[in-house]
Amino acid sequence: MEVFILEQFEGTLEKIRFYSEESSYMVGILRCKDGKAITIVGSFPPMREDESLQVSGQWQVHNRYGKQLAVEHWERLMPKTTAGLKGYLASGLIKGIGPATADKIVDHFGLDTLDIIENEPHRLQEVDSIGAKKAAGIIDSYKQYKDVQNVLIFLQGYGVSVGQAMRLYRRYGSDTIKQVQENPYRMAEDIFGVGFKTADKIARQLGLPEDAPQRIQASISYTLSRAAEQGHVYLPRELLFERIKELLSDTGDTLSESYLEEQLRQMIEEKRLFSEIQESGEAVYYAPFYQAEQGCARLLLELESKVSPYSQIEMNQVLGKIQHDASHLTEEQLQVLEEALQNGVLVVTGGPGTGKTTTIKALLTTFQSMRQKVLLAAPTGRAAKRVTEATGEEASTIHRLLEYSYSEGEGFRFQRNEDNPVEAQVVIIDEASMVDLLLMYNLLKALPAGCRLIMVGDVDQLPAVGAGNVLRDLISSGNIPCFRLNYIFRQARESLIVVNAHRVNQGEMPYLNVKNKDFFFMQEEDPEHAAQLVVELCQERLPNYGPYDPLLDLQVLTPMRKTAAGVERLNQLLQEALNPRSRDKLEAAGKGTVFRLGDKVMQIRNNYQKEVYNGDIGLITAIDKEETEMVVTFRDLLQPRPVVYDFTELDELVLSYAVSVHKSQGSEYPVIIMPVLTQHYMLLQRNLLYTGITRARKLAVLVGSKKALAIAVRNNKAEERFTLLDQRLRSGSLR
């Protein structure tokens, strides 16, 4: 058996030739103690030149770059000179210490600086301009830094990336190593971005056997969680087992189906999972989704049965007055008002230009005239802001409506629920296509008996990002009163955005060569050229045509993340064009991204503490290197609001000069630019193209090929989601 000897070197990181924030891969020059320079490569946390390192690894020869040390283990060494100490403290690793403060501390304590911070931290107050509060902040940050270094060193041997290690530390704090050792699989459940494979690798290296019950049960939980991220409420048992076997493929034939079945039944017995036998087979649910689906069906049926009916005389009086005062309402809209007065639950759907917002205003007027308390809400801050501006009535997010906040001993939870319902007689939800199953369940639990619920949205748009297909299920059940608005208003018919959106939705090619002011198609089949054209449109042509602000008015939407004209590449190009690097612009590094003062960024997962949610877009308005903080001002929330991010939280943000069509749901932009190329064929679907076009308020520009457009228009196969809400509603009765 061949034995590999790791060689060890100690020295100073003289030069960083390459570093990837995304993969943590670094190529650097280490100046060893004997004066010799060697090239080192491997996975490292963000570092600075002049750091003292001890590394060990094996030599390899790169066919282009020559001899390199492939580092397997590394350790930061404490600097041994005053200059090194100043650079170390001022590197941004310790909150509260910038270059000036670092100079003062080291000038005062000399080479004893780190020993003082470690063992006599109260003495920091001897330094000019460091008071008790600042000293306490520096001490806490230094302790956290030391903890983080221990975590990074522990996890590096298991292939855990620096970003993942930081997320683990934020979740578990100083207990990180203990938690990982006790149950590595918790990582996959608790930490965004840490997959089963990573947790499994650690577990196996810690000696857990391949058929350990906790390994099999973790694979079941992980598979169902991943399915939920793809929109599924449950998985058929056969498909679940198929995916688990793929996940555990390295186990080979040792994993029998009977043993897998045994672990599944154990989890069902413990009520961590639920299963139901359907005509099509057995459906397996993660517990929260089973409870939510059953609960939604039950509560919707109860809402209707407990509604207080209005007499025909009352309805005729109200509708007559509304018809007299609002003569612009169509027969369709008046019919919606009548349905709303008769039913406890109502779905109103329709495409662009069919008067959904006008209908909401009429519903508000109708119920307010009857002295009913009406609450108006939407799934996101962007959507709530838009409906507030359109109706003149204050709307909130559903989370705010349900008072999602921190409760001592219970963590973050909805404060409004069945024991503490909202105070309303009518609740109207706009952009209902974005409401996922779990949010719907929490909303229904918080509605008092006799409250009317009206869901307004466009069912032909992409479904919610979360699990479920609530709006479509309510309509397809046939057991929830539903009204579709079909009449397109004259003003809307004059907009080619609206006309083309409806054509696409009906399976017809959009008009591309009609002279107009709000819809343009620019032919470009080459993806690289299309990407450059998108940049040119954002940088010069559209701002001069509008005039439009490139950051506030223009939004690039694209079907895919990767590819030459995908989200990631376009963001790089657009950042370079619209907010280039300069000496006076501060920068901060996140996972795979350099954030720059003035950049347009998007939150990519819900952060309830900061009250910012997946898809919220803002601008970077401040970067503080000394406090290691960045401020993002979100302008698409109900009120523009600055939100502070620690540098360790930057993995929650991405550049948003370009975003995916899925992330644009619930938003409207003055101008959208959307590449539609055959390169995107995997995601070229009718509802995606339709959703993208309908995000534009003043101008839509498509860049691409007619062939790609035709593929999207013809592809009406909506992505199937495993959900049984429609069936559960069908089996009940609202009458």
List phi, psi (to 5°) of 678: -65, -20
The verdict on whether omega for the bond into residue 547 sits within 30 degrees of 0, i.e. cis, is: yes
**pLDDT, position 640:** 82
Q: Is 330 exposed, middle or buried (0-12, 13-18, 19+ CB in 10 A)?
A: middle
pLDDT along the chain (735 residues), means of 10: 72 85 79 92 79 89 87 82 80 78 91 88 89 88 81 72 72 83 80 75 82 89 91 95 86 74 94 91 94 95 81 79 77 90 93 92 90 92 86 91 79 88 95 94 94 94 90 93 89 87 93 84 93 95 90 92 88 94 84 86 84 86 86 80 86 91 86 89 84 93 93 85 94 56
- Which of 7, 23, 370 shows the shortest CA–CA distance to 162? 23
- Alpha-helix runs per DSSP H in 458-602: 470-476, 490-493, 496-505, 527-536, 542-545, 567-578
Angle between helices 567-578 and 527-536 (to 10 degrees): 40
Cα angle at 545 between 544 and 546, to 5 degrees?
A: 95
3-state per-residue secondary structure call for 74-89: EEEECCCCHHHHHHHH
DSSP 600-662: EEEE-S-BTTTTB-TT-EEEEEEEETTTTEEEEEESSSSS-EEEEEEGGGGGGEEE-SEEETG
Distance between start and end Cα atoms, the chain: 77
